Chain A
Amino acid sequence: MSGERGMTFHVWRGEDRASGGFQEHRVAVDEGMVVLDVMFKIQAEAAPDLAVRWNCKAGKCGSCSAEINGRPRLMCMTRVSDLPADEPTAVAPMRTFPLVRDLVTDVSFNYEKAKGIPNVRLGSKDADGTRRMYQEEVERVQEFHKCIECFLCQDVCHVIRDHEENKEAFSGPRFFVRLAALEMHPLDTNDRLELTRAKAGLGFCNITKCCTEVCPEHIKITDNAIVQLKERVVTEYYDPLTWVKRRILGQRPTRIGEKEPAAPSDR
């Protein structure tokens, strides 16, 4: 085929981190191929038991996360034409999660963290029985709903990447994105601020923006989710007047983006 050329891949193989290592494969690659295609080729031609997790192969499901030349990426969205042709490409499993086998890790940490976050609880409906939200309000949240749960932001986050001991008290960027989405939902009535501050461990994050850099959906995790949540926590917990209102008068905290008083429905 046109444009076919040989490339060398170093693919990590093994069942535990100590005894496993990189295995070299020479693969004929074609124009337009992505790294996941290369893994399929290796499975079909050389290593049928090579463990790879994938689903949609279109950047929409977030299953095929790995570290390609040390960078957390989706294998299905990394084109071989963007890799250096004259040196080997290293493909390794995500480092932050326990290894299952080869390129597959046990990401159940994330599903456990998800269990602790209360879902939306919408307030009462409008008089005509409908719910009204406006495109501008919805779009702020939709940015966060783009998250495909590839967990690359979790993988790159230095709070947990080499610090197993922090996992207990830190939910990670994916769940700050989830918390920010809930926080900015125009009709939600749940209060998750204490959870965000204490149980989710927002304070651990020192905004190095590594998560934003690796997000395949280009969600501005740091600026639009984490910083907004941090500002909320500061206002609610460290501003004396708000503290009094909240603790003594029992007022519901103001939500991010909420206009005060609430705008009438003639928008």
Chain B
Amino acid sequence: MTVQREERAYDVVVIGAGGAGIRAAIEAKAQGAHTALVCKSLFGKAHTVMAEGGIAAALRNVWKEDGWEVHFRDTMRGGKLLNDWRMAQLHAQEAPDRVLELEEWGAMFDRTKDGLILQRDFGGHRYARLAHVGDRTGLEMIRTLQHRATELGIDVLMECTMQTLLTSDGRVVGAFGYWRQTGAFVLLRAKAVVLATGGVGKAWRVTSNSWEYTGDGMTMAFEAGAELMDMEFVQFHPTGMVWPQSVRGILVTEGVRGDGGTLRNRDGERFMFRYVPEFFRAETADSEAEADRWYEDKKDNRRTPDLLPRDEVARAINAEVKAGRGTPHGGVYLDIASRRSADYIRSRLPSMYHQFKELADVDITKQPMEVGPTLHYIMGGIRVEPDTAASTVPGLFAAGEVAAGMHGSNRLGGNSLSDLLVFGRRAGLAAAEHAKRERAAPAADEREVDLAVERLAAPLERPDGESPYRVHADLQETMHDLVGIIRTRSELEEAAVRIGALRERLDRVGVRGGRRYNPGWNLALDLRSLLTVSECVARAAAMRTESRGGHTREDFPKTDPQWGKVNVVIRRRGGRIELATRPLPEMPEELLRILGEQPKPSDEPAMEATAPARVG
């Protein structure tokens, strides 16, 4: 079968154009590789744009007691020690350079009185560490990277969806997909492919993620023979909007709490004090007075429980609502109005002010917000080699949310943007080096191409088939109800059964119309990856019989030290999903020592403990 298709050849093809993808392409191009950057949407619209609070990096501009060791320790503890230690180490060590590099390329972060990059408090971070631009840091980051990529003349393929990786002798030699605007097929030959396609938020009903987050990269890698890891760990951001119904799930930045906001239940109680786990008790304030003093004086006070890691806060909110202490719309209150001046709120959190005013008629300088958990991020993904971001398949690299390991069982806020930069760069570098070693990409296997074409065309051949929107809605219902914050064996098993039934329905899904910008057709194709990744999540969650980070089992409520020694890895064998455990890599002595050290307030005074000068 020969179907008309466009064909292009590159050294490095980067699939996904959020922070990790653009940073990877910049690095590959800088290494001299002929590089393509493939975006599912328009350039500059990826989910990175939604990141609000900031980029975590131990720049030491606000607290000179900070350093990579402290950041490393916070990250590992936030992930309940299941992180790949080497990734956490590289991330903490390199994040400051990656932030300063953004400044060279035109980013304009908020400043300290001294004129340096200001840093803000965030959950799980011992010191104010997040470089930020008000509450729109992600926009600044993606635009800066976008301008840099444009300056370097990187080939950007906009509104282009890759669906299949092409292989030859067990290594990746390209990718196949379609242009959204025309529906035309496109084959990209490549000596190396970097996946930076993000997560799979659209499998859940209440999510902060956009239409793009359908697990494409994980599925493509899995089908090409790569291993996935930690798929049971999914992050519910504690604070999404809950009302009106149509905006449910839209993110409310952790920066609200970082800048002094506090969570309260229906009775006005600051309930987080009742939810401090043993693991964090020594470093968390036990009175409201101490918590409030901590914002200004970190030397003699411990962190407010409002800023415990996200998994802890999301579970607490969930429990309060279930206990009947929630708000009228089924959330809890997030109050900054009674704690900070209107001017401060508007200058620090302008887009939150705007978002609530325009979408919910709530003035956050006068009223509390109503918030509740929203699916935000997946810690699991493609298993990679820490230094090079190489997957287990030659020629295939992965960075950002699509990759696993860096965040363990739970990601700290602010560690995602820095992850994108650190490992995006490393993936681009390693992919370019890999491409240099390859003489030429071998031709793709035509049988693989035929199969890919067949799959793309199938839904259009069934114009009277079932609506993809209905199958998608049923999947979201299933994941929301059965693979949510609190899980249990019977429900996870039920989820796997239901996903199997949805798979059968997928074979009967059909769409009307042609291939030209047809969202129904696009969704029908994305459903395959949504279902594949959802099944991996449900199966891995059923396997891990303990509670840890972004995986809470009602039937196994405790953290189990035995499970703390292994990751769950998933690979495809004979068309089926195969799960296994894999021991964590052994941590070197000097890093174990860092982890063991109890935080000790330094005697040195802080350089600057508060927010910008203009806030009075």
Contacts and interface: CB of A to CB of B under 8 A. Distances in A.
Interface string B510-538: 01110011111100000000000000000
B251 interface: yes
A138 B181 contact: no
B613 A77 contact: no
A133 B519 contact: no
B516 A101 contact: yes
Contacts of B512: 48-49
Interface string A63-88: 10000000000000101000000000
Contacts of A77: 358-359
Interface string B495-518: 000000000000000011100111
B519 A32 contact: no
A148 B139 contact: yes
Interface string B207-241: 00011100000000000000000000000000000
Candidate in B49, B108, B351 with the most chain A CB atoms within 10 angstroms: B108
Nearest to B351: A60
A234 interface: no
Contacts of A63: 41-42, 45
A33 B244 contact: yes
A32 B139 contact: no
A244 interface: no
A138 B524 CA distance: 45
B596 interface: no
State the main secondary structure of chain A at its contact with B.
loop
A243 to B, nearest CB: 29
Contacts of A147: 143
Given A31-B244, A56-B210, A107 B110 contact: no
B436 interface: no
A32 B181 contact: no
B610 to A, nearest CB: 13
Interface in A19-41: 30-34, 37
A233 interface: no
Contact of B42 (A32, A60, A107, A131): A107
Candidate in B468, B513, B612 with the most chain A CB atoms within 10 angstroms: B513
Contacts of A111: 43, 150, 156, 158
Given A32-B359, A52-B519, A120 B250 contact: no
Interface string B368-388: 000000000000000000000
B246 A34 contact: yes
Nearest to B156: A111
Contacts of A265: 115
A265 B190 CA distance: 50
A58 B181 contact: no
Contacts of B211: 54-55
Interface stretch (B99-107, B261-269, B576-584): B99-107
B243 interface: yes
A59 interface: yes
A114 B150 contact: yes
A236 interface: no
Given A56-B50, A56-B210, A61-B45, A79 B359 contact: yes
Contacts of A107: 42
B519 A59 contact: no
B111 A49 contact: no
Interface in B146-176: 147-148, 150-151, 156, 158
A62 B142 CA distance: 13
A32 B133 contact: no
Interface string A190-215: 00000000000000000000000000
Contacts, number: 170
A53 B354 contact: no
B246 A37 contact: yes
A37 B359 CA distance: 12
A9 B520 CA distance: 20
B108 A101 contact: no
Contacts of A108: 158
B143 to A, nearest CB: 7
A51 B517 contact: yes
A96 B105 CA distance: 31
A131 B112 CA distance: 12
Interface string B95-126: 00000000111101111001110000000000
A49 B511 contact: yes
B49 A132 contact: no
Interface string B342-376: 00000000010011001110000000000000000
A7 interface: no
B573 interface: no
B49 A60 contact: yes
Contacts of B50: 56, 58, 60-61
B458 to A, nearest CB: 16
A145 B111 contact: no
Contacts of A58: 50, 247, 250-251, 355, 359
Contacts of A146: 136, 139
Given A52-B519, A148-B139, A134 B111 contact: yes
Given A55-B212, A135-B614, A141-B108, A49 B354 contact: no
A32 B244 contact: yes
B4 interface: no
Contact of B49 (A15, A30, A56, A182): A56
A251 interface: no
A155 interface: no
Contacts of A152: none
B152 to A, nearest CB: 9
Given A32-B359, A185-B108, 17 more contacts: A1-B245, A32-B244, A55-B46, A55-B210, A55-B212, A58-B250, A59-B355, A63-B45, A101-B518, A104-B517, A119-B150, A122-B104, A134-B115, A135-B614, A142-B133, A142-B134, A145-B108
28 contacts: A15-B516, A32-B359, A43-B519, A44-B467, A48-B511, A48-B512, A51-B519, A56-B50, A57-B210, A59-B354, A61-B49, A63-B42, A100-B181, A100-B516, A108-B158, A119-B105, A119-B106, A119-B148, A120-B104, A132-B114, A133-B115, A134-B111, A135-B612, A135-B613, A141-B108, A142-B108, A145-B143, A146-B136
Interface of A: 1, 15, 30-34, 37, 43-44, 48-63, 77, 79, 100-102, 104, 106-108, 111, 114-115, 118-120, 122, 130-136, 138, 141-142, 145-149, 182, 185, 188, 265, 267
Interface of B: 41-47, 49-50, 103-106, 108-111, 114-116, 133-134, 136, 139-140, 143, 147-148, 150-151, 156, 158, 181, 210-212, 243-247, 250-251, 351, 354-355, 358-360, 467-470, 473, 511-513, 516-521, 612-614
| A-B complex: 3 closest residue pairs judged by Cβ atoms | A32-B244, A132-B115, A48-B520
